[in-house]
Amino acid sequence: EDSLVARDCMIALHTGASVNIQHISSATSVKAVKLAKELGANVTAEVTPHHFTLDETAVLEHGAMAKMNPPLRTAKDREGIIEGIKDGSIDMIATDHAPHTAEEKEKGAAGMVGLETAFGVCYTKLCREQRLPLEMLSFLMSAGPAAVLGLADRKGMLEPGYDADIVLVDLDHMYEVHADELHSKSKNCPYDGALLYGKVVTTIKGGKVTFQIEE
């Protein structure tokens, strides 16, 4: 990963091309992206929640459920990614949602479901534990991705004329993740049993409510 990220960053620098590094998982790669940006390269980077909340030791506890691509790396890498989030080296957070059956995971399939746990994991681990401002987390999960995808004129902001894609959350609601209760048909989730803050209570897509917790 380090050598490929460094190569692509330098290609972006010398050609003027835009490059987005997906699923960054190495502290050294984060530093390479930071340097490339400082040199003037049009480079952006994306990270998944599991790469800054879990490390390689999770495999000992969760087995195949913690098998990812790229793989979970060291605690030092995890800390380096968090630092990259804080200093702006990383532009967005995405889930890399990858559902697999139990049989597929037993055969070595890499990936996990991450949509339903994404905000709770990020808010708990970044905002509550690392003191990342909530506004910055909101940017990383909305306006940041919209900008990279060229959709900043209609997505990622609560403004007139923008698409009404809104998620309402209860920040003080602590809940326990139960993989068998996830809406996904797949249950390959290493956060099973985790206690998280920031329960999603309503999802609005294009101005229409698509999910709402019943009182």
Q: Which residues are catalytic?
A: 96
In sequence order, what DSSP letters do the residues of 128-167 get, joined into one string?
A: IHH---HHHHHHHHTHHHHHHTT-TTTSSS-STTS---EE
Q: Is 168 helix (H, G, I), strand (E, B) or coil?
A: strand
Instruction: Check if the beta carbon of residue 42 is closer than 8 Å to that of residue 17.
Output: yes
Q: Is 172 helix (H, G, I), strand (E, B) or coil?
A: strand
User: One-letter amino acid identity for 14?
Assistant: H
Q: Is 23 helix (H, G, I), strand (E, B) or coil?
A: coil
Token code pair at residue 75 = 């605690």
Instruction: Check if the beta carbon of residue 205 is closer than 8 Å to that of residue 119.
Output: no
Closest CA to 188 of 115, 92, 120: 115
